Every structure is written in structure tokens, then in C-alpha cells.
């Protein structure tokens, strides 16, 4: 099995998996687009051998299929970087929500004139001397 055929097949598998994930509502379209872009590029250069040779020449890569892997690698790195930014956003949002919850909880206690002990998280075991 030639490396181009392998690349083409694997990109087709990626396509199928991504489309299935979107169909089941497990993957949001905006993240899926990045993956689809990656798969498309691998597919195109996997099948279009002349284009790959040109690309390898231009990049100074002696063995053209390596250009394919380099390209795939670059896309994967971009995806990872993208995920790092997504994680940062999510963690900022968690922070904001957690702060709001604490402030709202305090406000509820105040409004209700609540003097009972604080409600403990059930997931958290009582500390030493805990109630």
C-alpha cells in the first residue's frame, strides 16, 4: 500500500468520523471545520501526486510523502494551539461563574436572614471537627 493511498484512506476515515460526530451532536461545527480542513488537505495532496511533488520541491523535502506528514503535523499543531485557547476561555468562564455563585449565595443568606451553618458540599467529606 503506497503512502499516498494510505493518506487518502485515513483522511476519508477522518471525514466519516467527523461527520458522524456532528450528526450525533457530539462535536460543534466550529471545531469540526478545523478537522475537516486538515482531512481535506491530506486527501488532496494524498491523491494529487504532482502537487505533492511540487510542494516537496518548494520546501526542499527530498522524499515527497514526508511533505504530506509535515503538512499534517503543522495542522495538528494548529489544532492543539486552538484547543489551548479554548481551554483558557473555558477556565475563565468557570472562574466567572464560580465567583458569581459565591456572591449570589451570600446574597441569598443575607436576604433570608439565614443564620444556619453553611451548607456543605455533599461530595466533600467533613473536615476535622466538621459538622
Instruction: Report d(CA 59, CA 50) in Å as an integer.
Output: 14
Are the C-beta atoms of 22 and 60 separated by less than 8 Å?
Answer: no
Instruction: Report d(CA 113, CA 122) in Å as an integer.
Output: 23
- Specify the residue, 30 or 124, whose C-beta has the smaller distance to other proteins: 124
Which three-class secondary structure state does DSSP give residue 126?
coil
CB of 86 to other proteins, least distance (A): 11
- Specify the residue, 57 or 106, whose C-beta has the smaller distance to other proteins: 106
- Specify the residue, 25 or 129, whose C-beta has the smaller distance to other proteins: 129
- Residues of this chain that interact with other proteins (CB under 8 A) are 89, 92-96, 98-99, 101-103, 105-106, 110, 117-118, 121, 124-125, 127-131
Which three-class secondary structure state does DSSP give residue 128?
coil
CA distances from 19 to 1, 29, 38, 42, 66 (A): 26, 10, 14, 17, 27
CB of 60 to other proteins, least distance (A): 34
- Specify the residue, 60 or 130, whose C-beta has the smaller distance to other proteins: 130
CB of 76 to other proteins, least distance (A): 25
CB of 117 to other proteins, least distance (A): 6
Are the C-beta atoms of 117 and 131 separated by less than 8 Å?
Answer: yes
Amino acid at each position: 500500500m503506497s503512502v499516498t493511498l494510505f493518506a487518502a484512506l485515513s483522511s476519508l476515515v477522518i471525514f466519516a468520523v467527523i461527520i458522524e460526530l456532528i450528526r450525533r451532536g457530539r462535536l460543534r461545527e466550529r471545531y469540526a471545520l478545523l478537522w475537516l480542513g486538515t482531512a481535506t488537505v491530506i486527501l488532496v495532496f494524498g491523491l494529487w501526486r504532482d502537487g505533492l511533488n511540487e510542494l516537496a520541491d518548494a520546501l526542499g523535502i527530498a522524499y515527497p510523502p514526508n511533505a504530506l506528514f509535515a503538512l499534517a503535523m503543522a495542522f495538528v499543531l494548529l489544532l492543539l494551539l486552538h484547543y489551548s485557547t479554548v481551554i483558557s476561555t473555558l477556565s475563565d468562564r468557570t472562574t466567572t461563574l464560580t465567583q458569581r455563585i459565591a456572591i449570589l449565595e451570600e446574597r441569598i443568606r443575607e436576604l433570608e436572614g439565614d443564620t444556619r451553618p453553611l451548607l456543605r458540599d455533599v461530595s466533600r467529606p467533613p473536615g476535622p471537627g466538621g459538622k
